Structure 1
Amino acid sequence: MGNKTILIADDETHILNVLSIKLRNAGFNVVTAEDGAEAYALACAHQPDLVITDYQMPLLSGLELCSKLMSDPKTRNVPTILLTARGFSMSEADITSHNIREVITKPFSPREVLARVQDLVQHNVVGVASV
C-alpha cells in the first residue's frame, strides 16, 4: 500500500494536516493542495492513485476539479472521495460521471477517511482503468 499516492485538496489547513498525517502513518504517499487549481496541477504532475477533495474550494470547486480530471486522459481514471460540509445532493449518475467513489460529510473522523481509502485500495478500485 505504501507506493500508493493520495492527493488531498482542501482549503482548510487543519484538515490537510490531519488527513496527511493519518494517511502517511498508514503508509501512503501524500500530496496536498489548498485550492482546486493547485490540485489539478498536482494531479497532472504526480498522477495520484486517489484524490480526496473538498466540495467548496477557491479557484475550482471539488466538482469542477473532478470534471477537469475526467476530461484529461492522464487523470480520467483517478477515483475521488468528495468531502462536503453542506447539505449535498447529487444523483447517482452525476456521482458516477464525476468518478466520485465516496461522499463524506464534515465533520468526519480521520479514521473513517482512512478506512474508506483502505477499502478502495483493497478492493482494487484504485489504479484500475475503467472501460
Structure 2
Amino acid sequence: MADTGKATILVCDDEPHIVHVVAAKLRNAGFEVETASDGQEALQRAKARRPDLIISDFQMPNMSGLELAARLRAEPALRDVPIVMLTARGFALEPAELASTGIRCVMAKPFSPREVLAAARKLLDAVSATAMEN
C-alpha cells in the first residue's frame, strides 16, 4: 500500500463542491492535498511542488484537463506523475490520448468519493511497486 503519510495529491476542478468533497476524502485517508480551480493553476502548483498524483476535471476554463495532462507530460520533472481524469458521463477519451498524456484512469461524474480514493490508492501503489523494482 502507498505511504499515504507522504503522498501528495493535487485535486483540480472548477466546481468548488467537487474539490471540497474529494479533498476531504483524501485528507481523511491521510494524504496531503493541494487544490486548484483550473488547469493553469494546477500546472503552476505542480511545478512549484511535484505531486505524487493528480486528479483533474476534463472540462475547465482557461485550460482543459487534457491540455493540462499534455503540458505536464512536456515537463521532464512532471512527465511521470499519474493522472486521474474526471469526465462528464458518456464522455470517452481515445486510447491514443490516454497513452500520450499520462492519464491512467478515467472516472465519469457523478462518482463516489470512495471510488476516487480507491483509484488514488491503486495508482500510488503501482507507482511504489514500480519504483521498488527499479
Map of 1:53-92 to 2, 5 A cutoff?
53-92=56-95
- Is the 2:89–2:110 contact (alpha carbons within 8 Å) kept by the matching residues of 1? no
* Structure 1 segments of 4+ aligned residues over 3 angstroms from their partners: 125-128
Contact 1:4–1:28 (8 Å) recurs in 2: yes
5+ long unaligned stretches in structure 2: none
1:2 Cα offset (Å): 1.2
CA distance in 2, matches of 1:13, 1:61: 16
The AA in structure 2 aligned to 1:84 is T
Equivalent position of 1:116 in the other structure = 119
Q: Secondary structure of 2:107's partner? A: strand
Aligned position for 2:12 = 9
TM-score by length of 2: 0.90
1:25-104 equivalent positions in 2, closer than 5 A: 25-104=28-107
Q: What percent of counterpart residues are identical?
A: 52
Give yes or no for contact 1:10–1:54 (8 Å, CA) kept in 2.
Answer: yes
CA contact (8 A) 1:55 1:83 kept: yes
> SS in structure 2 opposite 1:43?
helix
Superposed displacement of residue 36, structure 1: 0.6
Partner Cα separation in structure 1 for residue 93 and residue 32 of structure 2: 30
Shift of 1:124: 2.6
Q: Unaligned regions of 5+ residues in structure 1, if any?
A: none
**Deviation, structure 1 residue 125:** 5.8
The 1:49/1:11 distance shift into structure 2, 3 A limit, reads same
Amino acid across the alignment from 1:101: R
